[in-house]
Amino acid sequence: MPGLLITFEGTEGGGKSTQLRRLAERLKSRGHDVVELREPGGTPVGEEIRHLLKHSEANRAMTSEAELLLMCASRAQLVREVIHPALAAGKIVLCDRFYDSTTAYQGYGRQLDLYQVRTIIDFAVGGTRPDLTLFLHVPVEVSEARRAGRAETAPQPRDRFEEADREFFRRVETGFREIARTESGRVKVVEAGGPVEEVELAIWCLVEQKLGRV
């Protein structure tokens, strides 16, 4: 019996990690076998790449091209080591970011050639595509406020992506909106600026429609 791959997308501060955990708990309480993942990362190889991409002091001179290839290297490992076996076993896989983030961040945000970006993504993931992608949308200003509040209440390691300027994140937002527009069958927009419980319910209504497969 095939499993289900659900991905969470959006700019920083959209609540993806929180909502992924809440959905996982709800699914588990209903007897589903759930695998929770994050990108980049999710495997020993991927976590090493994650540190290099986000937190390492050695990444300050990293080029956009190197960033793209490292992102997809981490994803190639994750797909083959974790996602494929989990789906084959009939599990529900929840992933905090997947290839749409690469299109939005490296394609639109870093302004790399979109055709090349998509070609590299296709090589990394093969035929693996999400059954449902949840685009958690918050305005750029809300994203900035949430990131600032997070930094004050719970200091985090340096994150290279969060050092980008507002125009970068506006381009990323444009990228996600274009993906949602052109792939509306798979990508569902969830307005994530409201109370956590309301966002959780909106997500559950979308996910529940897919559960007949597993």
User: For the segment 82-112, what is each residue's pLDDT rounded down to a tens digit?
Assistant: 999 999 999 999 999 999 999 999 999 999 9
Q: How far is CA 18 from CA 23, 59, 104, 134, in A?
A: 9, 27, 21, 13
Which strands make up the sheet holding 92-96, listed edge to edge? Answer: 34-38, 92-96, 4-9, 132-137, 187-191
- Cα–Cα distance for residue pair 47/29, rounded to 1 Å: 29
Look up the CATH number of the domain holding residue 142.
Answer: 3.40.50.300
Q: How far is residue 112's CA from residue 68's CA, in Å, rounded to a whole number?
A: 9
pLDDT at 1: 54
Q: How confident is the prediction for the chain on average, in pLDDT? A: 94
Q: How far is CA 184 from the centre of its chain?
A: 17
pLDDT band at 11 (very low <50, low <70, confident <90, very high): confident
Helix axes 64-78, 114-125, angle to 10 degrees: 20
Res 197: pLDDT: 97
User: Which band of pLDDT confidence, cut at 50, 70 and 90, is reported for residue 57?
Assistant: very high
Give me the domain span that covers residue 39. Answer: 4-213
Cα 123 from Cα 64, distance rounded (Å)? 18
pLDDT of residue 91: 97
- Provide the token pair at 20: 């992924």
**Residue 200: band (very low, low, confident or very high) from pLDDT cuts 50, 70, 90:** very high
Confidence (pLDDT) at 144: 75
Count up the domains in the chain and report the number.
Answer: 1
150-172 confidence digits (pLDDT tens): 666 666 788 999 889 999 999 99
